[in-house]
Chain A
Amino acid sequence: MTPPTDRADTASGPRPEPGTSADAIPAGAIPAGAHPMVRFEQVTKRFGDLVVLDQLDLEIAANEKVAIIGPSGSGKTTVLRALMTLERIDGGVIHVDGEPLTHMRRNGALVPADGPHLKRMRGQIGMVFQQFNLFPHMTAVKNCMEAPMTVLGLSRDEARQRAAELLAMVGLSDKLDHYPAQLSGGQQQRVAIARALAMRPKVMLFDEVTSALDPELCGEVLNVIRELGAAHHLTMLMVTHQMGFAREFADRVCFFDSGRIVEQGPPGQLFNAPASERTRQFLNAVMQAS
């Protein structure tokens, strides 16, 4: 665990407006007047000497679907983990729906957030992991009931009904009472999506959700995400290696390298006419691989 850092200094004082740092390309800014659901302001994260996020500025509008691509070690997963409060950031502020995520205002200054604040903020965010991280000792439906019952205070019946609806939505109404070990990888990942949705988040994070799956099982998971994007008012942020899916699904694609956004824009623009040489190199390498 990294020792707690005093972040109050980074949270106050003048800072440049988001999106004006030298490397950020304004093409990716959210539409004027759109409500920003997530905002990274000069966010820095280090692991020892390694800078994983380098004064990152990133804004995501409500209901926007953003795909993050980039080479491994570029910091793309850290964006999601910082947003889910799984990583402590070393500098900057993250806002969710207008409120600072890991800070709170006290006497006009931003101070590190206390438990209740973190809990309230986390409640707006759901996350799906590469390795599913289902609870192996609980059935599919129990996986989806645990948090609604213990965190939201739903009754067993309410939680079960909600879980059953969501599992039906991801096409698993016949697997309610199966344990994770009795399900295929694709089915497990769909349970994980249902489990996250059961908390009714505003923002959903998908961290390389198909990377641990056999190729023929990716489709069923991506289909669920596709339907989710179409049917729900959800802000979605996904780290992915599936360029085809990113191109088709995302409103905006961000290319990360060395903890910064090198280039971002609508998928058509970024994939067909990348402005940066680095992006071109990466896309070429990925295309050759596949």
Chain B
Amino acid sequence: MNGAVWDWAYAIEILPILGAASIMTVQATLGGFVLALILGLAFAIGRMTGPRWLRRANTAVVEFIRSTPLLIQIFFLYYVMPEVGVQLDALPTGILALGLHYGAYCSEVYRAGLENVPKGQWEASIALNLSPWTTFRDIILPQAIPPVVPALGNYLVALFKETPLLSAIAVTELMQMAKILGSESFRYTEPITLVGVFFLVFSLLSAALIRRVERQLQRRSGINRSQAQP
């Protein structure tokens, strides 16, 4: 009866195939997240410092992205971009969609971090004649980012868990591979379960990684240093 529900031999047989597909999942996750981190920061800075029209446009784009489903955005990019002459493979399209979608969310996180840097830091930078670019790079960002790393990390895990949506445009990530295996063997229990286990393990690993980065940043920032003599 055990064999009827769960076939260990089959599970072990498909493990390497799913392992190979997981590389695609990791690629999509990392690519999408790096893009989201960059776009999110650009959105946040544009929304805070740009001229009025840019701030408005920025807000509109961010709200639009956050208010529409990721699956629709993936389809839209995949089927509409070629119509306007942009030919991208499935994986880059997926990365772009993930990056845009999560970039919009990350921008809110960045914004909170940037707004929490005291005004006095900007004023000291002006008094020291630092350029706006230097101020951002050396003074503001190093103080704005460490406190929001946990929130950004949550989005990394969330993004990771949404990569199966890319199977909709036939990116052969884990979920797509599980469906392919299932349709070949008519056994879905093993591939789908293994995919679930894979996601669980990677989510736990990345959560641990984020906590480490967080601690590292706090140690380096000096903000959490022992309060010294009164």
Contact = CB atoms under 8 A, between A and B. Distances in A.
Chains A and B belong together in one complex = yes
Contacts of B129: 119, 122-123, 147, 151, 199
A282 interface: no
A22 B55 CA distance: 46
Nearest to B220: A137
A183 B134 contact: no
B222 A181 contact: yes
Contacts of A150: 130-131, 134, 138
B128 interface: yes
B123 interface: yes
A133 B121 CA distance: 6
Interface string A94-128: 00000000000000000000000001001101110
A182 B228 contact: yes
B126 A151 contact: no
Size bracket of the A interface: 20 to 34
B120 interface: yes
Contacts of A179: 222, 225
Interface residues of B, number: 27
Contact of A126 (B121, B127, B220): B127
Name the residue in A129, A134, A135, A179 with the highest tally of chain B Cβ atoms < 10 Å from its Cβ: A135
Contacts of B123: 84, 86, 129, 133
Nearest to A136: B223
A241 B148 CA distance: 39
Contacts, number: 85
Given A182-B228, A184-B229, A133 B222 contact: no
A85 interface: yes
A230 B86 CA distance: 69
A93 to B, nearest CB: 20
Interface string A189-205: 00000011001000000
Which 6 pairs, one residue from A and one from B, show the smallest C-beta to C-beta distance?
A179-B222, A133-B124, A147-B128, A133-B120, A182-B228, A127-B127
Interface of A: 84-86, 119, 122-123, 125-127, 129, 131, 133-139, 146-147, 150-151, 178-184, 195-196, 199, 214
Interface of B: 118, 120-121, 123-124, 126-131, 134, 138-139, 142-143, 220-230
26 contacts: A84-B126, A84-B127, A86-B123, A86-B127, A122-B126, A123-B129, A129-B120, A133-B120, A134-B124, A136-B222, A137-B142, A137-B221, A137-B223, A147-B130, A178-B228, A181-B222, A181-B225, A181-B226, A181-B227, A181-B228, A182-B225, A183-B229, A195-B128, A196-B127, A196-B128, A199-B129
